[in-house]
Amino acid sequence: MNTTKTDVAIIGAGPSGLMLGHLLTQAGINCIIVERKSPDYVLSRIRAGVLEQCTLQVMEKLGLDSRLKAEGLPHDGVILADGERVIEIDVKGLTGSQVVVYGQTEITKDLMDASDSRGVMRVYDADDVALHNFETEAPCVTYTKNGEPHRIDCRFIAGCDGFHGPSRKAMPGSNTNYVEKVYPFGWLGVLADVPPATHEVAYSNHDRGFALSSMRSLTRSRYYIQVGLDEKVEDWSDERFWDELAVRLGPEISSKLVTGPSIEKSIAPLRSFIFGSMRHGSLFLAGDSAHIVPPTGAKGLNLASSDITYLSAAIISYFKEKQSDGINLYSEKALNRVWKSSRFSWYLTTLMHRFPEGGEFDRKMQVAELEYIAGSKAAQTTIAENYIGLPL
C-alpha cells in the first residue's frame, strides 16, 4: 500500500473539487484531489453555462478570471415566453447585477490549466475510491491506480464527487435522509455552432412543452426542449429538433433562429434532491454530491460555488485560526441557501413546463401567472433577484 498524508482529501475533480483544491492550496493548506475519470473525460461533459456572482467571485479570488472576463458574456436580462408573448425582464435594471454566460467546461479548463503551476495535487483515473473512519479525526481515502493500492491519511474528506459518487453513499442515512422530487420529463439539449437566436437566455412554455434558448458564445448556441422520459436521442434527428424548437420558442424568437448540424445532443432527466446533512464527522459534502436542482434557473454549478465558498472558509479558519465554528455551521449555512435556490428552480420548472397530468386548469394558471409577471415590476424583481443568485 502506497500511503500519503495531507490535510484534506478531496474526492472528485469537477468544478466543486477543483475550486476547493485551488482555494485551500492558495491558503497554504495541503490537499489532494482524487478523480475517477481522465482529464479529457471531465472536460468533455457539456453542462452549465450561466454563472452567478458567487461563481465569478471564486474565480476572481483565485486570480483565474482573465479568460472569463475576456470571453464571458454579461447578460443584463432574461426572457420568459409562452409561445406567443415574449416578456423581457431587465435583470440589471431591477437588481443592479448581472449573470455571465461562460461554459462550465471553460471554468473547469481554467482551473485544470492552473493546477500544476499552483501545486494543486490531482490524481486522475483512480478506481475503487473509498472513504474510511470519517467519524474520527483521522479519516482516510483509499483507491487503486493501475492496479496498485493507495491510501491518503488526512484530517478532513471533502466529498465533491457529484450525484453518483461514493461520499454521500457512505453517510449514515444515505438511503433515507433526503427529500426528492422527480419530474416526469427530461431536457433534450443540442449544442451547435450557429449564432444564438436571443442574446438573453429565453425560457418558453408553449402548449407543446418547454423550450430554452441559450448560448456559449456569439457563434455557439445551446438549446433545449422538454421531452418525455421514454424519448431516445436517436429518435431526434437535427431536423426534427430544430422544427420542434422553432414552434415552441414562438414566432418572434424563432424568426431569428439559425439552424445547423448539432455537435452534441443528449437527454438529461430533471429532479430535485436535497440530502439532509452536508457533514458527518470529518466528512463534508459539497455540490451535486449533496443536492441536485432541475436545470431551469441555472442554479446547479452556482450552488456548488456557494458551498465551496462556505466550506473553504470553514476549513481555512480551522487550520489557520484553530476555530471550529465554521465547520460546525457549514451544513446549516449551505443548506439554507440550497433550499432557497431549490425553491426558485422548482418554481420556474413548474411555471415553464407542461406536466403530463396537468389539465386545462394548470395551463390556464401558468398563462395567468405569465400575464401577471408581464405587468408587475414586483413579480419581475422577484424573478430577477433569484436569477442573479441570492446573497451568500
- Whose CA is closest to 118, among 29, 14, 5? 29
* 288 makes contact with ligand RFL (CB under 6 A): yes
For residue 12, the partner it binds in ligand RFL, ligand PHB, none, with Cβ less than 5 to 8 A by kind, is: ligand RFL
Least distance (Å) between residue 361 CB and ligand RFL: 30
Task: Tell me the CA distances in angstroms from 204 to 9, 91, 254, one per residue in order.
Answer: 43, 17, 11
Spatial distance between the Cα atoms of 83 and 10, rounded to a whole number of angstroms: 45
Catalytic-role residue among 102, 143, 203, 224: 203
What is the contact mask toward ligand RFL in residues 38 to 57, using x (rule: CB under 6 A)? ----x----xxxx-------
Exposed/middle/buried for residue 312 (C-beta within 10 Å: 0-12, 13-18, 19+): buried
Secondary structure letter of residue 207 according to DSSP: T
* 64 makes contact with ligand PHB (CB under 6 A): no
* 72 makes contact with ligand PHB (CB under 6 A): no
Secondary structure letter of residue 10 according to DSSP: E
* 58 makes contact with ligand RFL (CB under 6 A): no
H or E element at residue 279: strand 279-280
Count CB neighbours of 359 within 10 A.
8
203 is catalytic: yes
Least distance (Å) between residue 67 CB and ligand RFL: 18
For residue 201, the partner it binds in ligand PHB, ligand RFL, none, with Cβ less than 5 to 8 A by kind, is: ligand PHB
For residue 222, the partner it binds in ligand PHB, ligand RFL, none, with Cβ less than 5 to 8 A by kind, is: ligand PHB
Q: Are strands 156-159 and 220-227 parallel, antiparallel or unpaired?
A: unpaired
Per the listing, cell 424563432 goes with 254
Catalytic-role residue among 280, 295, 318, 333: 295
For residue 320, the partner it binds in ligand RFL, ligand PHB, none, with Cβ less than 5 to 8 A by kind, is: none
Q: In what order do the strands lie in the sheet with 140-145?
A: 2-5, 148-153, 140-145, 127-132
> Which residue lies nearer to ligand PHB by CB, 15 or 295?
295
Least distance (Å) between residue 48 CB and ligand RFL: 3
Beta bridge partners of 88: 79
CA-angle at 58, arms to 64 and 11, nearest 5°:
95
- Whose CA is closest to 257, among 204, 303, 307, 310? 204
Q: Which of 171, 247, 301, 338 binds ligand RFL (CB under 6 A)?
A: 301
> Which residue lies nearer to ligand RFL by CB, 77 or 287?
287
Q: List all residues 6 or more positions away from 182 whose beta carbon is below 8 Å from its beta carbon.
A: 269, 270, 271
Q: List all residues 6 or more positions away from 176 whose beta carbon is below 8 Å from its beta carbon.
A: none
251 is catalytic: no
Catalytic-role residue among 15, 22, 75, 294: 75
295 is catalytic: yes
232 is catalytic: no
* 35 makes contact with ligand RFL (CB under 6 A): yes
Q: Which of 162, 209, 250, 295 binds ligand PHB (CB under 6 A)?
A: 295
The stretch among 63-71, 84-92, 230-238, 299-307 that binds ligand RFL (CB under 6 A) is: 299-307
Least distance (Å) between residue 195 CB and ligand PHB: 15
Measured between its terminal Cα atoms, the distance across the chain in Å is 42
Give the footprint of ligand PHB on this chain (CB under 6 A).
48-50, 201, 214, 222, 295-298
The contact set with ligand RFL (CB under 6 A) reads 11-17, 34-37, 42, 47-50, 104, 126, 129, 160-162, 164-166, 189, 268, 287-288, 295, 298-302, 304
What is the set of active-site residues? 75, 203, 295, 299, 387
